[in-house]
Amino acid sequence: MKFNWVFLNPFHAPGFSGSLYSIKDYYQLHPLFRGESRESPEQLLRGFVRQAEKQGLAVMMDLVINHTAKDSPLVSQHPEWYLHEEDGSVHSPFVVAPNDPQNVTVWGDLAEIDYRQRSAREELLAYWKKLLQHYIRLGFHGFRCDAAYKVPGEVWAELIETARQLNPEIRFFAETLGAPLHQVEQLHSAGFDYFFNSAKWWDFHAGWLLEQYEQFRHIAPSIAFPESHDTERLAAEGGGEERHSRTWYLFTAFFSTGVMLPIGYEYGFRRKLHVVETRPEDWEEPAFDLTSFIGAVNAMKVNAPVLNEEGPQRRFTPPSHPLVGLLRQSEHSAENVVGLINTDTERSHDFGLDHLREVMGVEVEAIQEITPFHPTNSLAGHQQIQVAPYSMRIFHALGQRS
């Protein structure tokens, strides 16, 4: 499918809840991943990374340092590293529903780490630096930083600097979904290479996603996804229609510098991934096969440099119109690209070629279609572009803007 990274959710030994994100021991493997092997965790992980490299894949691991499992040995060994309640018990992180202050979810299996400035923080950072060094030496190429906004930017800056002293090519990906703007902005100088954006939740009409894109693109480029391990499966939400999954993958690949999908998306899996319960036997019978389509989309992205940077992006169609037009422009050249998304599930919609020429600022002859499995000269002899129900078409232009 022409991906260049594989991202692993936490593979460490979990605490009593069994959740991948409730880490008890950062240096031991989850028993389910270890299997019957007698090799050490280091040998197994190093072998995995090397096999991935042979397939042209860099390996990114999850870095969870905003909390640990409540039954982690670190809680008793270093109680000063954690936040505590008035009665002395370890504080568990929680979240309040934005539309209902009475709806509070507490993660009782987790112990929240205290990053306030004090002497204990230096010891804590030394522990994380050693952990980073351990996994970089095993060959990992990057770290997806869970709930990065909950850790101060200056802490990340120090950790990232330490990692790059060992490997200047190491990459850091900040997970900041749902965070307030000020918590994301405090990461501005931390040194992150990428953020994850909220394109998955867009209805194609509201203005918030493009506003967020403009605010965050100056911090770091972003990665979009049509579903994740935290969301429902798109095939379940979209009634299992192949066109639904095609359009959403094409849109997320178009919208931002990076694109990600969880295993099974390409086959229309419907069962939601679960950080405690998912097992290999949950593999489903494929509803369809998008592997060649996804490979073609990724190839399209590689061949259009404008799709690999976060330049200006705007909508040029009315917010309420079923045909959504997006223009992405390069900040380094005259290259630009237009995406036409038909959100209507029943009817085709047309878009005038003259209007496309005006939007892209070039003559029609300079515009090529780059939608996978469409001819590049699809505009020849036509005055209108027809976009089929619930589909997307993409047009690319190079050269001097008129």
Q: Residue 151 gets which letter from DSSP?
A: S
Numbers of helices and strands, H then E, in the chain: 11, 20
SS3 at position 182: helix
pTM assigned to the model: 0.94
> Left if phi > 0, otherwise alpha if psi is -120 to 50, otherwise beta: which for 135?
alpha
β 23-29/58-63 pair status: unpaired
Q: Is 36 exposed, middle or buried (0-12, 13-18, 19+ CB in 10 A)?
A: exposed
H or E, element range at 367: strand 367-369
At residue 180, the pLDDT reads 81
**What's the chain's length in residues?**
402
Domains and CATH numbers, the chain: 5-66+120-310 (3.20.20.80), 315-397 (2.60.40)
Nearest to 200 by CA among 151, 248, 131, 269: 248
pLDDT tens, 152-189? 999 999 999 999 999 999 999 999 988 888 888 889 89
Asked if 337 and 395 touch (Cβ cutoff 8 Å), the reply is yes
Token pair for residue 116? 């306030």
pLDDT in tens, the chain (402 residues): 999 999 999 999 999 999 999 999 999 999 999 889 999 999 999 999 999 999 999 999 999 999 999 999 999 999 999 999 999 999 998 877 666 777 888 899 999 999 999 899 999 999 999 999 999 999 999 999 999 999 999 999 999 999 999 999 999 999 998 888 888 888 989 999 999 999 999 999 999 999 999 999 988 999 999 999 999 999 999 888 999 999 999 999 999 999 999 999 999 999 999 999 999 999 999 999 999 999 999 999 999 999 999 999 999 999 999 999 999 999 989 999 999 999 999 999 999 999 999 999 999 999 999 999 999 888 888 889 999 999 999 999 986 544
